[in-house]
Amino acid sequence: MQKRVNLYITFILLRILINVTCENSPSVIIVGAGPSGIAAATKLYENGITNFTILEAENRIGGRIYSTKFEDEIVELGAELCHGMKDNIVYKLANVYNILQPIEESKMNFCYSSQENVDETFFYELFDLFNDVYDYGFNNVNDTISVGEYLTNRCNEAITINYKNDKQKLKQATEFLDFYITFLTLYSSPFSLFDLSLPLYYQKCEGSYIIIWKHGGYKMILDILMKRYPDPKKQLPIEEKILLNKEVNKIAWKKTSNNSKNIFIETSDGFVFAADYLIFTPSLGVLKNTHRNLFVPHLPENKVNAINKLGFGAVSKIFIHFPERWWPTTDSVNFQFVWSQEDKELMMREFPFGPSKSERTWLLNVLSLESMHEKSNIVTAWCGGEFVPEIEKLTDHLVIDGLMYILNKFLGDKYNITRPYAILRNNWYENPHFRGTYSYESVESRKEGTSQESVLAEPLKTSDGQDVVLFAGEATNPIHYSTVHGAIETGFREAQRIIDTRQ
Ligand SMILES: Cc1cc2nc3c(=O)[nH]c(=O)nc-3n(C[C@H](O)[C@H](O)[C@H](O)COP(=O)(O)OP(=O)(O)OC[C@H]3O[C@@H](n4cnc5c(N)ncnc54)[C@H](O)[C@@H]3O)c2cc1C
């Protein structure tokens, strides 16, 4: 093995002579210009380590923060909300400029596909009941069990106890449970709730959990980190150290340190960089897909185990712009779609297009439609569950046809629904630089008995104990994984590791 590594490094060294003549050999390479990579860069810079380069595979910075314009409004293709206030680095950094705004969750409007025989208040009753069951389990159950298994058992028990004497309620409660179990995938992004662990190491930051950006969108946090906001004249020279469209496809590192560069990084366009330290920030999804070919030598077994066992799923946000608002315009809309058993069966015949499996079609993964705000003509369709990867592959035309089928089924009697004329979405799962949306604790990772995020965060060391290949990114945060604040904390953490070794 060692022979192979040496051979590879010799090969790389030869190519560096060719390629790096016009490159400054940086002492730190940061892979990825998402929030963790930018946070690491700013911390290094502010502590006097200025000899670094950020290699970013995409043609933009921000990673899973992706605020962009759609029909004259800012939409968030990625992160949208700051979750919590206390001990939340995003809140701490941004709140001083008065650009954050906690908001109330808009009232859910549960819609039933079979528009007759529906008592909407019953769905609220069920929502509260199932939330209570979930909260109880979350706070009291320590056994390794999936959220899906726990909820199916306990909610079905509760349904039987409460509604056994009312045939119609019994049926609708079972249908609502099917909705609820897919609906919850939106929060943690697993393709199935049967993969998500009920007990978690995750710690919520106290305070409002729904905080939006008053202007500029989530990308404001990158400007704040780089000191471009509030005063652009004071910005740190971080962006000039970012190389876009530089996809790293090989990371070779030497275990035996001999005071020269320890790490060689190759990009898919043939450049090779050498560095003393590397901070790796791409997503767990990228690691799952590439670690075997990316690292020379291979990553240690415990890290590979953590990569395999931790969960990384995807949700899909589809922004659609309607020429005119056909929904009640006084309020924001928040329609949630609950299917009756008969309509699920009918759907297979009425709309047989797109992916389906065991009598379930992708339309069941379109869970809700929410307006951006009360004055907007843009609404977001939220999709979660097993079909998300396949929904990403559908044409815009088919997605709109599917949404129109759903809207007419649920709301056609009440409103004169017009066809949207523009659609915007980002395929997070398809994109090889993300491979999904955010990480979660799976049942399998929980069975390991210790935080697998912490294992993922462990640096690779040289034989004399120097930390040289460092891991940041949301999935390496043991208590705030899956969030932007969690990602930023890990960038700071790994930059600090380098700063500490230099003192
Ligand atoms: C749809 C969606 C909604 C979300 N909603 C919220 C929310 O409301 N609130 C919240 O707190 N969080 C939310 N998140 C999660 C949050 O966006 C992420 O946790 C956070 O952005 C992760 O930051 P990161 O730096 O760890 O990784 P990333 O943002 O993924 O950054 C890693 C960077 O590495 C780059 N990269 C990948 N592979 C390579 C390679 N081979 N070579 C070079 N560069 C590479 C990527 O292009 C990327 O820019 C959401 C995410 C998504 C996708």
Q: Could you please report the per-residue DSSP string of 220-252?
A: HHHHHHTT-SS-GGG--TTGGGEETT--EEEEE
How many whole angstroms from 261 Cα to the centroid of ligand 1?
29
Task: Give 336's strand partners.
Answer: 110, 368
Q: Where are the strands (E) in 387-426, listed by range?
A: 422-425
Q: Is 33 a pocket residue for ligand 1 (Cβ < 6 Å)? A: yes
pLDDT on residue 470: 98
Residue 412: DSSP 8-state? T
pLDDT digits (tens, 9 = 90+) for 213-239: 999 999 999 999 999 999 999 999 999
Q: Is 317 a pocket residue for ligand 1 (Cβ < 6 Å)? A: yes
Give the C-alpha distances (Å, rounded to integers) separating 361 from 128, 177, 364, 413. Answer: 27, 17, 6, 23
pLDDT digits (tens, 9 = 90+) for 294-320: 999 999 999 999 999 999 999 999 999
Q: Is 79 a pocket residue for ligand 1 (Cβ < 6 Å)? A: yes
> First CA to last CA across the chain, in angstroms?
34
pLDDT above 80: residue 355: yes
Q: Which domains does the chain have, with CATH numbers?
A: 2-65+215-310+444-502 (3.50.50.60), 67-79+313-425 (no CATH)
CB 33 within 8 A of CB 62: yes
Q: Is 281 a pocket residue for ligand 1 (Cβ < 6 Å)? A: yes
Q: Is 83 a pocket residue for ligand 1 (Cβ < 6 Å)? A: yes
- Position in ligand 1 atom list of the atom nearest CA 55: 43
Residue 193: DSSP 8-state? T
- Position in ligand 1 atom list of the atom nearest CA 431: 47
**Residue that is written with structure tokens 């150290």 in the block:** 241
From CA 127, how far away is CA 101, in angstroms rounded? 27
pLDDT band at 332 (very low <50, low <70, confident <90, very high): confident
pLDDT band at 8 (very low <50, low <70, confident <90, very high): low
- Position in ligand 1 atom list of the atom nearest CA 77: 1
H or E stretch at 129: helix 120-140
